[in-house]
Chain A
Amino acid sequence: MTGVPMLSLAIVLPVLGAFLLLFIGNRDGSKDALIRNLTLAVSLVTFGVTLALWAGFDQSPAAESFQFVERQPWIPTFGIEYFLGIDGLSLMLIVLTGFLTPIALLTSWESIETKVKEFSILMLVLEAAMIGVFCSLDLFLFYIFWDILLVPMYFLIGIWGYDQRVYAAIKFILYTLAGSVLMLIAIIGLSWMHHAATGEYSFDVLKLYALDIPYSTQYWFFLAFALAFAIKVPLFPFHTWLPDAHVQAPTPGSVILAGVLLKMGGYGLIRFAYPLFPEAAAYFSPMIATLAVIAIIYGALVAMVQPDMKKLVAYSSVSHMGFVVLGITAMNVQGVQGASYQMLAHGVSTGGLFALVGMMSDRRHTRAISDYGGIKKVMPKLTAAFLLITLASVGLPGMNGFIGEFLIMLGAFKWDPRFVVGAGLGVILSAVYMLWMFQRVFYGPVTNDKNKNLPDLSVREWAIIGPLIAMSIFMGVFPNVFLKPMEPAVTRIVERVQAHQPASARLENGELRPGNPAPAAVRIPTGGN
């Protein structure tokens, strides 16, 4: 490429920024403003780097499968390498990370008042680790980034969160860790298998793809990987850490958690679990898809009855991420494309919802739906923004949520139409709980006197929500801008997985049913809302 190690740059920039902050003395809080500006600047430059990656990315199908590759021996005795590279899928998630971090930082400007320096350092370390996760092609390196980022998140929730923060923080870290250590055993096992087959250790994913793993081993290794990712996604019934973590996390933490961290689960399934263990994946897919459909419906039903806005949005994440998993289990181009797209869309719209809920609770110090009502008259601008993001989240055609869900259902239909029935129900329910909440919070008379004189969106808040709204609409109208770079990557992975699966397991895929109206028909009720 150009000679500049762009991926390393994207990882190192935030770390350097964090390092710089270490040397700013701020015990009395007098330099808070400087630190905030500096951190924002660093994250914006990092975003610039991720955009430069996109600009330099060769999207043609003939291009190299992994670009911007960097490869350095790290622990040569065990074949561990500092091996980075991105395909379209990782590129998009990295750009998402770069896009959401400055927004999350902006949401912190008023909600985080103590220990601003430490907060900023942790956010930057978190960003670096997230980018690292998405571009590591060495499993050992991937695992390291995957584990590192638990630590800053743990502190973000535990120090700056709400009342139950310590419980939520520990639950978050233990759940995620419990899943990922078993994956570590499987990773180690893979390296030994590579050693047995070729005489040398390797954690290189591309080499491990080529490994011929017996089915009995795949079975266990797939379970270990899938558990780690299912907890992260989170898939029902491994989701219970999520509502706690989300509700207790400070707004910027929630934005990053929902926007990026959950996507690592989906990414891991697509990048590692399925292509590494295709036969086992074929065996488990129907079970995982069933769990995904349960997650979609269960998440929606639980969201519907939440009295707390933040918890509602958290459960809606369970439901939306269920779609992602469903798309992945379908393992055809539409399904995986849809899942990838849904991850981006969910990052933008749920990030937006958490930001908006955060703005409201900054003003009123409550997140209970019943404490609001008639807010439309008091804060019309915020209401408009909230409505737009809500519509994006429920999947109104023309906005970002629609494309992903539609593709996922298309893919799932090609695989097994039964799953689509449940998923379609979830789409309807999502409209119900979101719009019902919207109605209770924003319409009707102002019943609570404390709500009478709330200031509307400030310039800073526009800077947070403006880009998110713009992106929601842009993604809905021009999905190809995002789908096209991902397409070669997705096609490669799907072909790889399908090539290894018994033909009988995939019979349905032969029968494309173009123009089948079923998914569109399911959409109609929501579109009408």
Chain B
Amino acid sequence: MTPEIAKRLLFQMKRIRHVEEEIARRYPEGKMRCPTHLSVGQEAVAAAVGLALRRDDLAVSGHRAHAHYLAKGGSLPALIAEIYGKATGCARGKGGSMHLIDESAGFKGSTAIVGGTVPIGVGLAYAIRLKGGDQVSCVFIGDAVAESGVFFESVNFAALKKLPVLFICENNLYSVYSPLRVRQPDGRRIHRMVEGLGVAVAAGDGNDVECVYEMASRAVSEIRAGGGPRFLEFETYRWREHCGPFYDNDLGYRTEEEFVEWKAREPIGRLESDLLKKKAAAPAEIEAMRAEIENEVARAFDFAEISPFPEQQEAFRDLYADAVSSLAE
């Protein structure tokens, strides 16, 4: 990993962190009126995979998708405006935090039903195959998706047709408040299970952005070369509550010790101190990053605040697309 790449990854992680923290800080104001799942602590996987992909590659995700959307290049002001329910939101206020889209960046959509976009991503890849080209379709999932039937069905088809799909599994150990031990048998390694379906797999430290970047880049180039789907599993940890802006360790579903241990493995400070130590980045550069990010995020929130709400009639539009014939005469 070159210092340039490392600095881009550091910037993206810091940017995602600041966006999420700012959402958390302002959420109690009551202006963001939709369920919101923050990615604080899980920035490394999104940032690294986002950088490993090209802009014309495609991606889909689930309910915790802010980081994936941003790392793939989705518009930040449109994200914040969407959470505010504004007409300028990326889904014009119809989707909210759990339904993000920015087709100009190849982010084809995130949805709220766990596992629901896994076959969508595989279908995008089928169309890539049929139309030709070397795009990759990236499917972001969490550990609970690997418990859903549609996941196995989708991976099976991707393997059967050797489709250009990159499955990225962020294993953050919990589904809402349910730990892995009540959901999957002892000793299960998700990627090993997927290997049994006929897909090349690997696993790594999801809080080590360099590791994620190297693995994702290798997988992407193998997929582009026609190698078929790849499945990468990364362990990571969500710091804040499942849904909402607060911390929830007081609930007792996970221990304070576990939380502290994972926080010590925090991905951003780890890279930053490494870069400073190696003198690959100067303190002034880090400071410039901070200023740039704070400015960008503040402007995005300003944009959301001053944007108009959609007019009421908008609730009754867009049910159907206009019937347009696509006859290839």
Query: Are A and B a genuine interacting pair, yes or no?
Result: no
